[in-house]
Amino acid sequence: MNHSPKSRLLALLAATAVVLAACGGGGDGGDTTGQAGEDEGQPKPGGKVTIALEAESPGFQPGKDSVAEPGTMVLYSVYDPFVLRDAGGTIKPFLAESFESTPDLKEWTFKLRPNVKFHDGTDLNTTVVSENYKILKAGTTAGALATVSEFVVVDPLTFKYVLSVPNAAFPDLLTGVVGMPFSMKNYTEKGADVSANPVGTGPFSFVRWQRDSELLVRKNPSYWIQGLPYLDEVAFKPIPDEDARLATLTSGEVDMMHTLRQTLVKKAKQAASSSDLRTYDFQGNSSGSSLFNTSRPPLDDRRVRQGLAHALSQDDLLEVLGGTGISQPTTQLFTTDSPWYSRDAAAKWPKQDVNKARSLIKSYVDDPARSDKKPVGTPVSFTYNCQPDPSLVELALLYQQYWKAVGVDVTLRQVEQASSVALVVGTPPDYLGDYDAVCWRLGSQNDPDVTLFNAFREPQGNASNVSNFTTPRLQQLLIEGRSTADIERRKQIYGEVSTILAEEVPFTLTGSTAALVAATPKVKGIMNWTFPDRTTKGPSIVSSVVAFREVWLDR
Amino acid sequence: MARQILGRIPQLILTLLAVSFLTFMLLSLIPGDPVLSILGTDNITEEMIQQKREELGLNDPLPVRYASWLGDAVRGDFGRSQRTQQPVMDAIKERLPVTVEIGLLALTGALLITIPLGSYTAFRANGIADRVTTTVSFALRSVPGFVLALLMIYIFAVWLRLLPATGWTRLTVDPVRNLRSALMPALVLGLAEVTAYTRVLRSDMIATLQQDFIIMAKAKGLPNWRILFKHALRPSMFSLMTVVGLNIAALVGGALIVETIFALPGIGRLLVDSIYQRDLVMVQGVVLFIASSYVIVNFLVDTLYTVLDPRIRHGRA
């Protein structure tokens, strides 16, 4: 990559902007933001792309390793899922040729494409998928497959999942690791080292991995989609320090980087506004939140939770998080462009109203039957846990001030991430959590059933219901939501779920997490991936995860 | 001398045992469940949690876990990482060359600057060079390592494009690229040490230069460089050696930050990531390895005194 003195100066200015980012200022640099559907010209084959990731992954074996967004990019390079979500949010066959369910949504039959091979030359057939299923059912994915009562091999290319309960959202599970077939020959041969030696049917085959340094994948010459992938190689480099990752991109040593940090999203956009870098945004359903333990006084009382929510200004909270101008304030676990977004829930979401907040808190404080059994008139008090991250500490202080203004005493407690998770989940057999309130993250791009079902079913003994909140109506809706395939009915159901959550406030929300990919202008095809028919579009970059299958270099 | 060294070995073993016990206890007392770090909170069941705890041996009593872990560790088996399934010893072997290379480069660089600088500033104590050195070195010492690291990245990588901002190339793959990727991290680590080393050597050297044998050497008309480096340096090195030995730990501590910022696959980053992910088996193995190395290096430094100082060698110190 050649750089003129001017571009070097611009890169330095961009870097200086990074150093001085705390001073703020600067524009959004939105003019360089990439869009899906842009005409980027005819793809050219060949070349190598290096992407800087925010973290290293433990491994890449379905059923053994849990990965976040950086690892998902590697997974989608090495493996293919049976199904994927298209740009409109509908699940469509990908590695599977087709799929269908019985009307009662309890039997899901999938048909594989013929003549697909793993990178080690072995065939993809239902014998392999059946062996895969046994490993997944006993592994870290067991919870996701809990409702699958039987796996049936129909013929060499057809298989069936039989569920114990109807589940309209079942195919959603197969967009991730549960639906990514892996070579059984490799799994058996590699044994305990299989996590570091993945073999799938994906567009790229694994070459080598030096942990915390570089993972290299190379073009799969016998890939089942003709003409893909375009690139010869992709290298994944974990660079955990956010500023160093951006500096590595601006210095030209890598071609792309991604981030899920609001502060770096802003810095990358500033850098792009004064250089030739291009940025690609994604606003997801994942949102920052304050989670309340509704099994504990005083947060078991709806008046307290509503009062706390009415005391907050989402705009101020987003500003502290560095998300102003980047993240949208959220009112539910779905963004405004999600098919599951509910206007009713948005209208019910508690807006900032300090007087109303004071009145709600006072009604609890003056209630002789208040749940914390304290004397009438005693102020509401609880402990708020948050991680010792600078922006989160600032956020927790802001919460404390808002709640103090409406008469609530909040003790802040810094708790490191792993400890925080342990406290929120709690201990067996109840799993009711050992916390009052905590800064948390909620929401995902999955089907609402995946996001909501376990999170709000009966809390006793349920480690996934971290707020311990549920109501009989909520449970009924969640069961109904997975028992119907009628999309309009499902929208109504999840709309009502969001409305209940807005009224009951088991959590407050800040804003959706903005994710970003930044790349040099020669990297093309980041936003425009398609299904095997090469016409159906995919949903560009979800949570900054790039599908490298159709990325190409304009060399 | 051999008897003196052998006499210290039981003390060394006891220290290592204490280190291993404290490491194990400390990590067992830290809150946070490694099982939840592995499984996450979505779609988990109690059966999955209990099965994983059993698989990792977390349900066994503490003494049983310690005895089992120590028994394996003595045989060089530190177990397998709970997250990556990689043998801990393999992970250490894979990453040790990176940390050692950067540490050695930093140490060598720091000593190459310290010895002439410390000697000269002692020889011309309170002169202009001494004052400038003191000011600059204190300024460097007061800048946190991560700030120095980011500043260097912007100057040498983003602006001048002389060195790579981040990343690592193995020595066996390309020695030149290896040196380029090691230079900035070593500089950040080494510069922080130069200040302390220079001050220590300078003050010892000033004391040495007032000794009778130095006055005698001057009276005999020996050149200054010969007096400084032939006669004064050796007896002025003891404090410096002690500080260098103790600073091995500081180098590892610095590696935690430097390896994370420069994205280097070393021991420091392995430890940081393992702590964040509650990978207790990995953390225990790495901490035991670092602590043992520290104790052994300091044992060797103590042994070196007996080689350098005849008074200690002959038991007259």
Average pLDDT, chain A: 89
The residue ranking higher by pLDDT, B62 or A309, is A309
* ipTM score of complex: 0.78
A506, pLDDT greater than 90: yes
Domain for residue B21, yes or no? no
User: Shortest CA distance to A322 belongs to which of A11, A26, A54, A14?
Assistant: A26
Domain for residue B115, yes or no? yes
Domain for residue B62, yes or no? no
Helix crossing, B62-74 with B2-29: angle to 10°?
Answer: 140
Domain for residue B45, yes or no? no
Segments of B182-294 assigned E as strands:
none
Closest residue in B to A461 (Cα–Cα) = B46
Most confidently modeled of A106-115, A425-434, B125-134? Answer: A106-115
Q: Is B211 on the interface with A (CB under 8 A)?
A: no
pLDDT in tens, A211-220: 999 999 999 9
Picking from A144, A196, A463, the nearest residue to B86 by CB comes out as A196
Mutate to test the interface with A, among B82, B153, B166, B279 (most CBs of A within 10 A): B166
Beta pairing partners, A33:
A279
Cα–Cα distance, A370 to A374 (Å, whole number): 7
Which parts of chain B register pLDDT below 70?
1, 26-27, 30-32, 34, 37-38, 40-44, 249, 311-317
Report yes or no: A523 and A541 within 8 Å, Cβ to Cβ: no
Cα–Cα distance, A473 to A424 (Å, whole number): 24
Picking from A142, A248, A431, the nearest residue to B165 by CB comes out as A248
Q: Is B45 on the interface with A (CB under 8 A)?
A: yes
Residue B31 is predicted with a pLDDT of 65
The total of structural domains in chain B comes to: 1
A30, pLDDT greater than 60: no
Residue A543 is predicted with a pLDDT of 77
Looking at the complex, report in whole angstroms how far the Cα of residue A481 sits from the nearest Cα belonging to chain B.
17
Mutate to test the interface with A, among B28, B38, B80, B158 (most CBs of A within 10 A): B158
Q: Is A380 strand, coil or helix?
A: strand
CATH number, position B103: 1.10.3720.10
A25, pLDDT greater than 50: no
Beta pairing partners, A162:
A107, A150
List, in order, residues 6 or more apart from A406 with CB less than 8 Å away.
A307, A308, A310, A311, A354, A357, A358, A361
Residue B27 is predicted with a pLDDT of 66
Q: Do A247 and B150 touch (CB under 8 A)?
A: yes
- What domains, with CATH codes, occur in chain A? 5-75+203-277+520-553 (3.40.190.10), 83-184 (3.90.76.10), 284-513 (3.10.105.10)
- The DSSP letter of residue A550 is G
Residue the block writes with tokens 């990514």: A180
Cα–Cα distance, A411 to A400 (Å, whole number): 8
Report yes or no: A414 and A386 within 8 Å, Cβ to Cβ: yes
Domain for residue B24, yes or no? no
For residue B151, the enclosing domain spans: 96-276
Report yes or no: B102 and B186 within 8 Å, Cβ to Cβ: yes
Segments of B159-243 assigned E as strands:
none
The amino acid occupying position A40 is: E
What mean pLDDT comes out for the span A538-555? 89
Beta pairing partners, A111:
A98, A158
